[in-house]
Amino acid sequence: MKETTERTALGEAILKHWREHCPQMVRDLEEQDRLEQAVFETQTRTGDLLYELVSVKKMDYHAAWELAREEWALPRSGKESEKEGENKTENNS
């Protein structure tokens, strides 16, 4: 039985960004039937991070939003690929 999760406006924004900027990742998640789970987990982590930064660490909301947005704008797999590309460039110099 699948767990039901509610996608928020944040989840919609995350999915829209992923579809535009990470289409292969979205296709892979869809093939694995994990897209909804990934969006839900990311929206939850983003909300938790915003709470931590704004409420606990007393950071300005807009600055906290920018940091939190960076977390989901480039998902972990995208960040790893980006770092691999940087390492290759540095090694070839």
- Give tens-digit pLDDT for 37-81: 999 999 999 999 999 999 999 999 999 999 998 887 766 554 444
Residue 25 pLDDT > 60, yes or no? yes
Radius of gyration of the chain measured on its C-alpha atoms = 15
Identify whether the C-beta of residue 87 lies closer than 8 Å to the C-beta of residue 29: no
- Token pair, residue 12, equals 């919609």
Task: Identify the residue whose tokens are 């535009």.
Answer: 20
Amino acid, single-letter form, for residue 26: V
pTM of the model: 0.71
Longest CA span, the chain:
52
